[in-house]
Structure 1
Amino acid sequence: MPTLTRRSAMVAAAGVSVALALTGCSKASTDSGSSGSGSATNAAKALNIVFIPKNLGNPYFDASDAGGKKAVEALGGTYSQVGPQTASPDAQVQYINTAAQQHASAIVISANDPKAIGSALTQAKQSGTKVVTFDSDTDPQYRDIFVNQASPDGIAKAQVDGIAKQIGDSGEIAILSAAANATNQNAWIALMKEDLTKDHPNVKLVDTVYGNDDDQTSFDKTAALLQTHPNLKGIISPTTVGIAAAARYLSTSKEKGKVALTGLGTPNQMRKYVKDGTVKEFYLWNPTDLGYLAAYAAAALAKGEITGKEGDSFTAGTLGDYKVGADGVVLLGDPTAFNAANIDKFDF
């Protein structure tokens, strides 16, 4: 079993953890090629923030980016969302480059890979564009701030404890993840394995598969898991696309009610599967709040109100005050459990 020191390192590592045309950016200032130093100069620029999700057409990012749009417009800035159709390690590079070339005030991005977009982000920062990662981080040197949706430890534990409770704390389970290189997914999975070893020794993880945040691929991977592992008692899918696809498969299969499913999903996606008994409980933070907070962090950086160092503080509109923690991480809060008793109270 890994030591406490190793676990702490994993938690820290997790922090390093529709198509719209890019709208015209504000007129570049005469020093736009600089690093953007000087709060007076930054404050004088028109605010223009570009959101780059892992992929377009993903309900999770539709919700998070809607929060970003609300925040940017409340700040009197210009909002735009661009990105690839498919989540792959280098698919975001061209959108980063375009935003930087057009002198965006800030880029807010959920990274498909911690390193693949690093060079593009470094060039963007050098041109004066601030970089905020959210949902899935890059290595810290490539961004100014990471807005983390919840503590990685808490996310992992909620899902592991949830599936263990549903299957009687004994039996075979599998994980249906997103892309194999996704920073956040891999950090959560590493912590889940620790939690299983430490707290649920009779629950055996027999397989981890990747649906690449594609509905049909995730659906097919669910079918394959059940065929490959006939004694499977539960599936954890820490991705909103994956859990919805898995629920869709289970809801019409003979395994409905026999194979438990939990993970990370949105209430609007999962409501019918909770009500028909396919899923008892799943988890998530509010992605709209996550995008909203990321936009305010980006604006504070662009205006020179903060630099991203530990101890910096800023106000995020209706969410209130936040402080930058170690490694430039801002934490939204704890995940929420959604079930039949509360799911109709949420609309996202």
Structure 2
Amino acid sequence: MCAKSRTLAATAAACALALAVAGCGGTTKNSAGSDAKQQAAGATAHPDAPLKKGLKIAFLPKQINNPYEKIVDDAGIAAAKGFAATAKEVGPSDAKASSQVSYINTLIQQRQNAILIAANDPNAVCGPLKQAMRQDIKVVAYDSDTAKDCRQLFINQASSEEIGRSQVRHLAQQLHYKGEIAILSATENATNQNTWIGFMKDELKKPKYKDMKLVKVAYGDDDDQKSFQETQGLLKAYPNLKGIISPTTVGIAAAARYISSSSYKGKVVLNGLGTPNQMRKFVKDGTVEQFALWDPKNLGRLGAYAAAALASGRITGAEGEKFKAGDLGEYTVGKDGEVILGPPTVFDAKNIDEYDF
């Protein structure tokens, strides 16, 4: 991992270097990142090229102690070993927008072949990521995207639209399409969360949801205790609240923990995105009827294979390119460099014991 004892001076110097070359945190189209994207656009893919041996790949999650992202990254690291690459996970202990910047600068100095990042903010990380691409370090966003010109690929868990709309559909069915609802999100700037919430709000505009009202979007910052407190605050502030959607594994587990030991159990419906191992006890004790998620291990594995394909010249990130991801099969690069893992799974009492992650 990146040395936590890095001094403020070293961090400032690294950011100053990024500023001089690419504009630290900037998003201008004439920056180093755009040059790198233009170079990629003119590059030629060699789909039959062998995967390079000894690739250095780094996973940079939203925060190092997030249990969901730990599953993703560990699976990606294991997959990388299978094709003779060296992979590691580095990152901050908090999910603040700027916390990932110094880690990117260090990975550039270490000459990693590829950086995989789950962005806390779509723009705050752009300066150093553009500098990385300028130096022919491949950049793959996963789980939570950056701005499109700050990476070559985005590995998306599932269709963002399907995730957002399905969360509303599932909760609405449980509430019989009536009542006040709230959303407990991660950070205010998380790209994936905001994209899903946008589709949730759009879905709620449909006539069949006329008797449902979104009263609040709260933010737990992917912190267990803050998410717990935000749940408590929502239920006190809105006494007629009937349902909560939490599209974050930290948030839904914290919300379930609060509801399970409160008078709201059985009265407030909780749905969202969680892992089976986190949520199993809450499903079995009746706190939660159902929730959804994709397989995070496969997300990490797909990210590792995509990064290796980029670094080996098999793909450039252009729409329509195809690459193989081990036993996951073949994937196609979509519009704006998006690669979709597949549809999410809905977990309930009938199937939850079939999964272990």
SS at match of 1:245: helix
Aligned to 2:112: 104
Is there any run of 5+ residues in structure 1 with no aligned partner, and where? 1-19, 23-33
CA contact 1:84–1:91 (8 Å) conserved in 2: yes
Residue 87 of structure 1 corresponds to: 95
**What is aligned with 2:10?**
none
Equivalent residues of 1:42, 1:302 under 8 A apart: no
Q: Is the 8 A contact 1:89 1:113 kept in 2?
A: yes
The answer for the alignment partner of 1:139 in structure 2 is 147
Distance 2:64 2:303 in 1: 18
1:236 equivalent among 207, 229, 245: 245
Whether 1:302 and 2:315 are equivalent positions in the alignment is no
Kept in 2: contact 1:174–1:236 (CA 8 A): yes
Contact between 1:267 and 1:343, CA under 8 Å: does it hold in 2?
yes
Instruction: Give the aligned partner of residue 226 of structure 2.
Output: 217
Q: Does 1:158 align with 2:166?
A: yes
Structure 1 outlier segments of 4+, above 2 Å: 34-46
Partner of 2:351: 342
**1:258-337 equivalent positions in 2, closer than 5 A:** 258-337=267-346
CA distance in 2, matches of 1:274, 1:45: 45
Deviates more, 1:210-219 or 1:59-68: 59-68
AA partner of residue 244 (structure 2): I
DSSP 3-state at the match of 1:213: coil
Q: Let me know the Cα RMSD of the aligned residues.
A: 1.8
Stretch moving more, 160-169 or 172-181:
160-169
Structure 1 SS opposite 2:58: strand
Unpaired stretches in structure 2, ≥5 consecutive residues: 4-35
Question: Aligned residue for 1:7?
Answer: none
* Aligned mates of 1:217, 1:333 — CA distance in 2: 31
Q: Deviations over 1:116-172 (max 9, x none)?
A: 000010001111210000111011100000011000111012210111111121000
Matched letter for residue 191 of structure 1: F
Identity of aligned residues (%): 55
- Give the letter aligned to residue 53 of structure 1: P
Q: Distance in 1 between matches of 2:356 and 2:312?
A: 32
1:331 to partner: Cα distance:
0.6
User: Given the superposition, is the C-alpha separation of residues 215 and 290 from structure 1 closer, same or farther in structure 2, using an over 3 Å criterion?
Assistant: same
Q: Is the 8 A contact 2:227 2:250 kept in 1?
A: yes
Match of 1:168 in 2: 176
| TM-score (ref. length: structure 2) | 0.86
Specify the alignment match of 2:261 in structure 1: 252
CA–CA distance in 2 between the matches of 1:39 and 1:151?
Answer: 26
The residue aligned with 2:19 is: none
- Alignment deviations for residues 228-254 of structure 1 (CA, whole Å, 9 cap, x no partner): 000000000010000000000000000
Contact 2:171/2:269 (8 A) holds in 1? yes
